[in-house]
Structure 1
Amino acid sequence: MTVTAPLTYRHTPSPLHAILLAGAVPLFLGGLLSDIAYSNTYQIQWANFAAWLIAGGLLFAGLALVFALVNLVRADHKAGRPVLYFLLLLVTWVLGLVNAFEHAKDAWAVMPSGLILSIVVTVLAFISAWTGLSNLRNGGAQ
């Protein structure tokens, strides 16, 4: 008789998944801080810094999104926390992509929409990382 454990949602991410997820937060935050610096100084290089930091955040968040998708597919229960985490990360990535397109414009055209998008994406990245990395499991519940 062979006993197999059912596939469940891997609640704690693998080390690589955690590094990618946690790495997206400071990159998006750096983009936000660069946007704030640009809005205060109008030095075009700050807009360039923001664009590159947002691109890096998208790379890290996109790779973390692949891990989240794999965990979601492997989950027994497709509702609840696995779906919430995946959707938060997906919305973060999509809005980050829109923000990257916004930052591809001329530097003068970036404000104020680029700053607003950077704020929203940074907050979403924090919430996604918090949801993905926190251990809220109570007993056997997800």
Structure 2
Amino acid sequence: MSSASSAYRPLLPPPLALLLSFPVALFTIALFTDITYLQTAEVQWTNFSSWLIVGALVFGGVALAWSLILAIRWRGARLYALLLVLAWIAGLVNAFQHSRDAWSSVGTTGLILSILSAAFAIAASWLAHGAKWEIAR
């Protein structure tokens, strides 16, 4: 065996890595805009959060579909796909939560959902970029 075969090789093909970067960034920024809204009570911050969450769901949905295809081939991709499913579901519920008016759009529930969706997306990205996975047989 050559040392090249044991070199670090990320799981994700470059297009999927690019797609995954959007939900990670957008869910995280939505969390920060939620926190900013809770500090300032300026309603425009909830609008920012809503749009950021929708963008994360769009790109996250494409990344999720790709991850489900990868989960068929790689064992470790199943956990990655599960984390993306959890991030997407938490984000979808969060989008519905943010469609409410003013304080009730964020509040405790919206903040917790933002934390969960950002945490799941970050965990999926960390797992995908750091794992060496075996091909399923």
Give the gaps of 5 or more residues in structure 2. 1-8
User: Aligned residue for 2:55?
Assistant: 56
Q: Deviations over 1:46-91 (max 9, x none)?
A: 0000000011111111110011011123x1x6xx412111111111
State which of 57, 78, 85 in structure 2 corresponds to 1:83: 78
AA at the equivalent of 1:26: A
Aligned length: 127
State which of 99, 108, 115 in structure 1 corresponds to 2:111: 115
The separation in 2 between residues aligned to 1:108 and 1:69, in whole angstroms, is 36
Q: Identity of paired residues, percent?
A: 40
Deviation at 1:141, TM superposition (A): 7.9
The separation in 2 between residues aligned to 1:11 and 1:70, in whole angstroms, is 16
Secondary structure of 2:11's partner? Answer: coil
AA at the equivalent of 1:55: V
1:1-142 mapped onto 2 (5 Å cutoff)? 12-73=11-72, 75=73, 80-110=75-105, 111-134=107-130, 136-137=131-132
- Length-normalised TM-score, structure 1: 0.82
Contact 2:11–2:132 (8 Å) recurs in 1: no
**Structure ID, larger Rg:** 1
* Runs of 4+, deviation exceeding 3 Å: none
The separation in 2 between residues aligned to 1:40 and 1:59, in whole angstroms, is 28
User: Aligned residue for 1:7?
Assistant: none
The separation in 2 between residues aligned to 1:40 and 1:91, in whole angstroms, is 28
Secondary structure of 1:112's partner? Answer: helix
Deviation at 1:11, TM superposition (A): 5.9
- Length-normalised TM-score, structure 2: 0.85
Secondary structure of 2:39's partner? Answer: helix
Deviation at 1:133, TM superposition (A): 2.0
